[in-house]
Structure 1
């Protein structure tokens, strides 16, 4: 894909967005921003309202209140939506009897796009050999690649993807990670919904975490992780904590008798323990990972695990939000 004429991305802004289905609130006064040139992970438990939010952003579902805009405009008001927004919300949005190439040709013709983009995107997404094969015979991973190719036909400034890693093998996931990073380096705005926390952690710049349709945390990954520290275990954690205080190192008790020292200098921690005559049973760097943060923030707030929606309400929402939500 040529980068010379690729325009910069456009901001996504969600403000006090709310969607109710009867008495059930799927999205509740949700606000966040997705910046151009960055990959933002959109995370939350099943039923948290992720897909409903994406559908409102794309004008597929009417919001009860609030706004969801792209470059300051509702999706319905965009002059050339294909050149502004590319999206892939599910990997089944194609005619099963039509080849992958023909599927893209139909979309290109409908959008007034050059047919040269079809073969360019087939090559770029790694499915040229399967282009003549019926899309209904594609594996899940191939369907994901075809959906991504369709989303990129108009060389959009904004890319919105719902669970794009589903069905991809490890090699495919690694390819997707590099591909999204390449697109963000062009200045594109990328919003990715996913439940693969370890993969998201390696891919995204920013994170938006929701539960029960509400925002629980958002910000850059580096900021959410917090300051790096050191985990140490010894025979007397209290004595070591006192010795560290003398060395101007703050520490706090951790799990299972461990001590969390607020420093990355493991040599200093080891030297302090040696001078205090304490054995070191464990010494390792600690940095909060996304998975630990995610479960810490959403634990006890997932309505699917507690007394949330009634079965009737939950069914109504699941019918609107789709199988990936």
Structure 2
């Protein structure tokens, strides 16, 4: 990779990232990239090491080894960190007795951002009516929106969100999808962590899936869906396969007796079956069960949950050398 690429503003690069808390390895030789103008889902079961990775990316925890950079620089070396990266790792990072608007005004003053930006973000995130109420009384969904507004105050190039859909109702999740898509359309780099593939599959462009602190899959979301095709139910799959072959369409017979044709042209499959005199009981696009694939990729004992996994000893928590915080399982 060229120097011009690695220093491109907004590009996130994680290379050989490892974090150990004593004898416990929370993140293990993890490498991936997050491209500007795209939404990347950072996925894995609870305890996979997602939050620990994000904390290292944001300079909150010192890596044992490896690097995590934004635009070619570690977070601590960014010349203008607030306008480079906006992050929302918790939905409780505010004073409960302070109103949502006052919370943002304090942050805006610290970041030298005009108060007008606060009101603009309250509108964008859909909480203007609650802005003058105490944030301690907010629902989880409202807290998520407040956290997102705080992350966007300085109009950063990169947005890092940890489980942003937690607490949102279906309408809120739909709003979040559209809002993130709008931001990525502006060229922003967006990294969103989640433990649910189904929650993000309609939103993200790329995925990074980890389990037990290790990378298990990364790449475009479309790659998880497999090769598109058609699923056909008929009385004689072998005969239909032969007829489709004449039409230059390859196919295979699945274990359940259905025929999987390598084409997305359902009309063609139906016409071939009609000409061959074969009844069709079912004809539909073939789509991958992404949730099943996610569990398949991450199955097995989750060592990072310690006592939560059968037969596994509890993992002792140790304080990080940089922050003094105890190591989190996540």
- Fold match by TM threshold 0.5: yes
| 1:45 equivalent in structure 2 | 45
User: 2:327 is matched with which residue: 306, 315, 320?
Assistant: 320
Q: Are the counterparts in 2 of residues 24 and 309 from structure 1 also a CA contact under 8 Å? A: no
Kindly state the Cα deviation for residue 23 of structure 1 after the two structures are TM-superposed. Answer: 2.4
| 1:227 equivalent in structure 2 | 227
| 1:133 equivalent in structure 2 | 133
Q: Are the counterparts in 2 of residues 251 and 260 from structure 1 also a CA contact under 8 Å? A: yes
| 2:79 equivalent in structure 1 | 79
| 1:272 equivalent in structure 2 | 272
- In the aligned structure 1, how far is the partner of 2:157 from the partner of 2:38? 12
Summarize deviations over 1:111-151 as a string: whole Å, max 9, x none.
22222222221122111111111111000010001000110
Q: Are the counterparts in 1 of residues 38 and 187 from structure 2 also a CA contact under 8 Å? A: yes
Q: State the SS of the aligned residue for 2:165.
A: coil
Do the aligned partners of residues 314 and 275 (structure 1) sit closer, same or farther apart at CA in structure 2, a change above 3 Å counting?
farther
| 1:3 equivalent in structure 2 | none
Q: Are the counterparts in 1 of residues 231 and 286 from structure 2 also a CA contact under 8 Å? A: yes
- In the aligned structure 2, how far is the partner of 1:66 from the partner of 1:309? 31
Kindly state the Cα deviation for residue 319 of structure 1 after the two structures are TM-superposed. Answer: 6.0
- In the aligned structure 1, how far is the partner of 2:242 from the partner of 2:317? 56
Q: State the SS of the aligned residue for 1:54.
A: helix
- In the aligned structure 1, how far is the partner of 2:185 from the partner of 2:9? 10
- In the aligned structure 2, how far is the partner of 1:187 from the partner of 1:53? 23
**Count of residue pairs the alignment pairs up:** 316
Do the aligned partners of residues 320 and 254 (structure 1) sit closer, same or farther apart at CA in structure 2, a change above 3 Å counting?
farther
- Superposition map of 1:146-165 within 5 A: 146-165=146-165
Please report the RMSD computed on the Cα atoms of aligned residues, expressed in angstroms. Answer: 2.5
Summarize deviations over 1:8-31 as a string: whole Å, max 9, x none.
951000011111222222111111
Q: Kindly report structure 1 stretches of 4+ aligned residues shifted beyond 4 Å.
A: 301-309, 314-319
Give the gaps of 5 or more residues in structure 1.
1-7
Q: Which moved more, 1:163-172 or 1:189-198?
A: 189-198
Q: Are the counterparts in 2 of residues 9 and 189 from structure 1 also a CA contact under 8 Å? A: no
Kindly state the Cα deviation for residue 253 of structure 1 after the two structures are TM-superposed. Answer: 2.9
Kindly state the Cα deviation for residue 301 of structure 1 after the two structures are TM-superposed. Answer: 6.5
| 2:249 equivalent in structure 1 | 249
Summarize deviations over 1:128-184 as a string: whole Å, max 9, x none.
111111111000010001000110111111000011111111221111111111111
| 1:5 equivalent in structure 2 | none
Give the gaps of 5 or more residues in structure 2.
1-7, 320-324
Q: State the SS of the aligned residue for 1:210.
A: strand
Kindly state the Cα deviation for residue 205 of structure 1 after the two structures are TM-superposed. Answer: 1.1
| 1:114 equivalent in structure 2 | 114
- Superposition map of 1:162-177 within 5 A: 162-177=162-177
Q: State the SS of the aligned residue for 1:257.
A: coil
Do the aligned partners of residues 78 and 308 (structure 1) sit closer, same or farther apart at CA in structure 2, a change above 3 Å counting?
farther
Do the aligned partners of residues 41 and 309 (structure 1) sit closer, same or farther apart at CA in structure 2, a change above 3 Å counting?
farther
Q: Which moved more, 1:187-196 or 1:50-59?
A: 187-196
